[in-house]
């Protein structure tokens, strides 16, 4: 479900506004429908009461009684102008039987309302019955339809219901019956509400979209700038402030932070360059001086130590320079890249194999990715004597996998092996333990490309190291 929801600030706010507007309009629609239903019900009860009162006055030899009850105030039934108009002889009749057909149910709420209205007009009400039936099911209308052809043509197409109200006054056994066609519901308020909802949605969504775009556009630019700077890109021109004042202040603060961090990184590069120069110069001089040592074994040990120090210094400087290049990544076929690295080891007679796979192209920093893969292969050869390399595509990621048949790494130490100067072998012998920077360099290279380096022991023995890069 969460995968269907928008993830951006703009999308989530717009979705929340749309949902809130629809919920509010739905509540309004329910309230309007209930109010319209109550008005309609009251109008039907009033019309039925008036029908009964008017019918009684017409029965008094067609003369209106001067002392009779006043004409009641009635409400127009919504939609009555579209309803079926009944003849006067059908609208009011008198009968000795209860005007209920077999199987019909009564409406107690409507009966109570009509009783109250009639009693307010001075009638002594003994009983009121009210029910609804189909127009074509009413016996009196059926008789009229049989006598008048125009009724027979109209009734089959009529889908209205008939409200039948029977009144028995106190002291009388006769029933006075009023028939009233119930008109179809008025759809006007629903159409008005739908139109109102559309207009509100367009106005509110349009205005909110304009405001949110003014906020989210500079935020998106700032997020992309922060991402690139966090991945090691060299700072460029300061980001131009835009948007509301709050966002402008955030951009100003980011520019100041970026400038300060960039200055510190520049100072670090200068310092490391100076350290490398100051250390390599005496090491080179020392390498020349040991040539005067007559003991060949002692001279060889001194030379190996100097080379060890020089290589360690080169790895430290390389680790510090990762991600500090202005060169953009190049689109590279990763299988060919891995093959070029494997070829270097094959030329030295090392047992390294490359599994065939599909072609996978990605934008990478070629020199650094080669360095990271080379470190993983070197690490496998050092501890296992063999290395098996494969290039795969998994879940939208390019995977450079290096496997060996060595002893693996204790589970509790796998995470520590990615930290600088951590060795799988405790000695400081480069032939067995190395400098402890190879995996750290490989991890830094993977992170420079927005990827990860993972280590895991294989079920059949040995270690699996993977550089995963997003495609």
Beta strands, E only, 191-341: 330-333
Beta partners for residue 389, in sequence order: 354, 402
Q: What is the mean pLDDT of residues 253-271?
A: 80
Contacts of 441 (CB under 8 A, 6+ apart): 315, 318, 319, 322, 371, 372, 375
What pairs with residue 168 in β-bridges? 127
- The answer to whether 409 touches 459, Cβ cutoff 8 Å, is no
**Which pair of structure tokens corresponds to residue 383?**
């501890």
| Structure token digits, residue 215 | 């906020």
Looking at the predicted structure, is the pLDDT value of residue 69 above 60?
no
Half-sphere exposure of residue 67: CA atoms within 13 angstroms, side-chain side: 0
- DSSP code for 416: G
Least confident of 148-152, 213-217, 409-413: 148-152
Query: What is 305-337 written as a DSSP string?
Result: HHHHHHHHHHHHHHHHHTT---PPPEEEEHHHH
Q: Is the backbone of residue 149 left (phi > 0), alpha (psi -120 to 50) or beta?
A: alpha
Confidence (pLDDT) at 64: 40
For residue 46, give the nearest of 128, 144, 116, 131 by alpha carbon.
Answer: 116
Condensed to tens digits (0 to 9), the pLDDT of residues 17-54 reads 888 888 888 888 888 888 888 888 888 888 888 888 88
What is the per-residue pLDDT for 129?
92
* Range with the poorest average pLDDT among 50-59, 82-91, 234-243, 283-292: 82-91
**pLDDT tops 80 at residue 145:** no
Assign 406 a pLDDT band (cuts: 50, 70, 90).
Answer: confident
Dist CA 296 CA 358 (whole Å) = 52
Lowest mean pLDDT among 339-353, 408-422, 453-467: 408-422
Average pLDDT of the residues in 93-117? 89
Interval 167-172 mean pLDDT: 88
Which pair of structure tokens corresponds to residue 466?
Answer: 């993977």
Question: How much is the average pLDDT of 64-78?
Answer: 41
Q: Which contacts qualify for 51-56: CB closer than 8 Å, 24 or more apart?
A: 51/91, 51/92, 51/165, 51/178, 51/179, 51/180, 52/92, 52/118, 52/165, 52/167, 52/176, 52/178, 53/118, 53/121, 53/123, 54/92, 55/91, 55/92, 55/176, 55/178, 56/176
Average pLDDT in the chain: 79
Position 389 scores a pLDDT of 92
Buried b / exposed e over 144-174, threshold 16 CB at 10 Å, is bbeeeeebeeebeebebbbbbbbbbbeeeee
Distance of CA 126 to the CA centre of its chain: 64
Distances (CA, A) of 91 to 8, 34, 140, 193: 64, 28, 10, 35
Q: Is the pLDDT higher at 440 or at 47? A: 47
Q: How confident is the model at residue 72 (pLDDT cuts 50, 70, 90)?
A: very low
> Cα–Cα–Cα angle for 185, 186, 190, nearest 5°?
115
At 388, is the pLDDT very low, low, confident or very high (cuts 50, 70, 90)?
very high
* Segment 418-429 mean pLDDT: 55
pLDDT for 151 equals: 65
Answer whether 234's CB lies under 8 Å from 259's CB.
no
Q: Which of 108-112, 180-184, 269-273, 407-411 has the highest mean pLDDT?
A: 108-112
* Residue found by looking up tokens 């951009």 in the block: 251
Q: Which of 23-37, 49-63, 184-198 has the highest mean pLDDT?
A: 23-37
Cβ neighbours of residue 247 closer than 8 Å, sequence gap 6 or more? 215, 218, 219, 222, 241
Query: What is the structure's pLDDT at 60?
Result: 54
User: Tell me: the pLDDT tens digits for 276-292?
Assistant: 767 777 777 777 888 77
What distance lies between CA 131 and its chain's CA centroid?
A: 51
Arithmetic mean of pLDDT, 421-446:
63
Q: Alpha-carbon torsion 315, 317, 318, 322, what sign? A: positive
Q: Per-residue pLDDT for 320 more than 80?
A: no
Share of the chain above pLDDT 90, in %: 4
Token pair listed for 268: 């670090």
pTM for this predicted structure: 0.48
Residue 85 near residue 161, CB atoms below 8 Å: no
Residue 28 has which token pair? Answer: 């309004």
Give the pLDDT confidence score for residue 370 in this predicted structure: 86
Helix (H) or strand (E) holding 402: strand 397-403
What confidence category does residue 271 fall into, taking pLDDT thresholds of 50, 70 and 90? confident
């Amino acid at each position: 479900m969460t995968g269907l929801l928008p993830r951006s600030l703009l999308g989530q706010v717009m979705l929340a506004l749309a949902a809130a507007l629809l919920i509010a309009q739905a509540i309004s629609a329910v309230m309007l429908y209930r109010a319209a239903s109550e008005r309609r019900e009251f109008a039907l009860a009033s019309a039925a009461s008036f029908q009964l009162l008017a019918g009684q006055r017409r029965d008094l030899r067609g003369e209106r009684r001067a002392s009779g009850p006043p004409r009641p105030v009635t409400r127009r039934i919504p939609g009555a102008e579209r309803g079926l108009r009944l003849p006067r002889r059908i609208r009011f009749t008198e009968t000795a039987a209860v005007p209920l057909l077999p199987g019909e149910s009564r409406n107690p709420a409507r009966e109570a309302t009509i009783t109250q209205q009639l009693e307010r007009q001075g009638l002594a009400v003994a009983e009121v019955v009210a029910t609804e039936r189909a127009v074509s099911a009413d016996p009196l209308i059926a008789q009229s339809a049989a006598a008048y052809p125009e009724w027979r043509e109209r009734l089959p197409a009529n889908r209205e219901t008939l409200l039948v109200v029977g009144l028995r006054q106190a002291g009388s056994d006769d029933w006075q019956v009023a028939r009233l066609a119930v008109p179809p519901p008025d759809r006007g308020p629903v159409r008005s509400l739908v139109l109102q909802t559309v207009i509100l949605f367009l106005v509110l969504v349009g205005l909110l979209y304009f405001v949110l775009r003014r906020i989210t556009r500079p935020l998106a630019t700032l997020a992309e700038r922060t991402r690139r700077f966090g991945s090691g890109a060299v700072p460029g021109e300061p980001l131009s402030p835009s948007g509301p004042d709050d966002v402008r202040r955030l951009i100003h603060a980011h520019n100041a932070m970026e400038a300060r961090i960039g200055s510190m990184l520049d100072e670090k590069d200068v310092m490391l360059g100076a350290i490398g120069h100051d250390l390599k110069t005496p090491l080179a001089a020392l390498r020349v001086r040991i040539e005067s040592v007559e003991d060949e074994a002692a001279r060889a040990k001194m030379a190996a130590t100097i080379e060890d120090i020089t290589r360690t210094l080169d790895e430290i400087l390389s680790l510090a320079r990762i991600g500090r290049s202005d060169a953009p990544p190049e689109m590279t076929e990763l299988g060919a890249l891995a093959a070029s690295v494997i070829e270097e080891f094959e030329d030295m007679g090392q047992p390294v194999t490359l599994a065939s796979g599909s072609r996978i192209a990605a934008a990478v920093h070629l020199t650094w990715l080669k360095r990271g893969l080379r470190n993983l292969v070197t690490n496998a050869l050092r501890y296992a004597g063999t290395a098996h390399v494969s290039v795969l595509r998994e879940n939208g990621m390019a995977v450079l996998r290096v496997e060996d048949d060595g002893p693996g790494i204790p589970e509790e130490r796998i995470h520590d092996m990615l930290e600088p100067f951590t060795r799988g072998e405790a000695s400081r012998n480069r032939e067995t333990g190395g400098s402890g920077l190879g995996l750290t360099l490989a991890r830094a290279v993977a992170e420079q490309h927005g990827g990860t380096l993972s280590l895991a022991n294989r079920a059949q023995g040995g270690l699996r190291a993977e550089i995963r890069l997003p495609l």
